[in-house]
Amino acid sequence: VSSQWLGSYPAAVVAIILAGAGNGIADVAMNVEGAAVEKELSRAIMPWFHAFWSLGTVSGAGIAAAASFGGLGIAWHSLVMAALMAPTLIYVSKFVTDTSAHSDDVGEARTTVGERMGVWKEPRTLAIGLIALGMAFAEGSANDWLALAMVDGRDFTNAQGALWFGFFTVGMLTGRIGGVYALDRFGRVRVLQLSAGVALIGLALVILVAQPLISGLGAALWGVGSSLGFPVAMSAAADNPRGGAARVSAVATVAYGAFLIGPPLIGTVGASQGLLGALWIVVALIAMSFFAAPAAKPPVTHNSSV
C-alpha cells in the first residue's frame, strides 16, 4: 500500500519492518502457546499447528493468484486481507488460554534478563537451533528456488515448475498432519532423523534425476522430510517452562536466519554453479540437522512423550 499509493520507498520499508516485527512476536507467542497445549495433552500436536500455517500459505497463494487474475491491485488486495484478518484475530484470541497458569513463574520469581539472555549459552538450546536452522533452510530454499531450479536446470515451463513446488507443499502439509502420530509412537529423535533422511533422499532425486516422475517424487519427499524439523524444534525448546519463551525465541531467531540468508546464498552460488548445483548446500544443512537431532530428546525430569 505504501509503495503503490504513497509512492514512498521509506514508508514501504517501515511497513515491512512493522509487519515482520509483528509476525515475529506472534510466532513466538503461538509456539509457546502450542507447547503449553502439548503439555496439557501429554502428546505431540505442534506439527498440526504448523500444518495450518502450511495450509494458509497454499490458500494465500491461491487467493493472490485469483486476485491477480481478476485485476485486483496489490494495494487493494492487501487492504481487503487486512480488513478480514483483523477482526478474525481479535475474535479467535478470546480462546487462547493464559499460559502463565502453567508456567513456573507462578509461585516463583520471574526469569531475569540475565536468565533470558543466558539461553544463548545453553548447548542444548543451540543444538536445537541447528535442527531448526537446517530444516528451515530446506523449507525456505524450496519456497524460493525449487520452481525456478526446475525451469533453469531441467528446461521446465513455468507452469511445470510451479507444479513441482506444489508437490513439495503437499508433502509438507502431509508430513505435518501425519507426523504427530509418528512422534507419539517413536519419539522426537528417531522421527527427526528419519525426516532428515527422507529430505536428503528427496533432494538428491531432485538434483540428480532428470526423469520428471522421479524428480516430482523427490520434490514431495523433500517436503515430507522438511515438515517436522521446525515445529519439533519449537516443542523441544519449550520443554522447560521456566525460560521457555526465551528459548523458543532464540531457536526461532536462528531458524529465521535461515530464511534470511538462504535465498541470497542459493542465488549467489546458483549464478555460477546452476541452481540445481547450489542445492547441495541444502543437503549439507539437512545432514547437520540429522546429527543435531539427539538434542531434541525431552529432559529426563519431564515425563513427556513428545
Euclidean distance between CA atoms 278 and 268, whole angstroms:
9
Quickly list H helices, the chain.
Answer: 9-41, 46-69, 74-92, 113-118, 123-141, 147-154, 158-186, 188-208, 212-226, 229-237, 244-273, 275-278, 280-292
Mean pLDDT score, 49-69: 80
In the prediction, which pLDDT does 137 show? 94
Q: Is 232:176 a contact under the CB 8 Å cutoff?
A: no
Question: Between residues 64 and 230, which one has the greater pLDDT?
Answer: 230
Pick left, alpha or beta for residue 243 (phi over 0 → left; psi -120 to 50 → alpha; otherwise beta).
Answer: left
- In sequence order, what DSSP letters do the residues of 221-274 get, joined into one string? HHHHHHTTHHHHHHHHHTSSSTTHHHHHHHHHHHHHHHHHHHHHHHHHHHHHH-
Q: Residue 77 corresponds to which cell in the numbers above?
A: 488486495
Strand, coil or helix: 17: helix
In the prediction, which pLDDT does 238 show? 84
In the prediction, which pLDDT does 134 show? 95
Q: Which domains does the chain have, with CATH numbers?
A: 2-93+120-296 (1.20.1250.20)
pLDDT digits (tens, 9 = 90+) for 66-111: 887 788 887 788 888 889 888 988 898 888 776 555 454 444 456 7
- Could you tell me the pLDDT band of residue 57, with boundaries at 50, 70 and 90? confident
What is the pTM assigned to this prediction? 0.81
Q: Is 229:289 a contact under the CB 8 Å cutoff?
A: yes
- In sequence order, what DSSP letters do the residues of 289-301 get, joined into one string? HHHHGGGGSPPTT
In the prediction, which pLDDT does 104 show? 47
Euclidean distance between CA atoms 135 and 29, whole angstroms:
21
HSE of 297 in the Cβ direction (CA atoms, 13 Å)?
10
In single-letter form, the type of residue at position 156 comes to F
pLDDT above 90: residue 4: no
In the prediction, which pLDDT does 113 show? 73
Euclidean distance between CA atoms 224 and 191, whole angstroms:
12
Q: Is 151:203 a contact under the CB 8 Å cutoff?
A: no
In the prediction, which pLDDT does 96 show? 77
Rounded to the nearest 10 degrees, what angle do helices 9-41 and 244-273 cross at? Answer: 130
Average pLDDT of the chain is 85
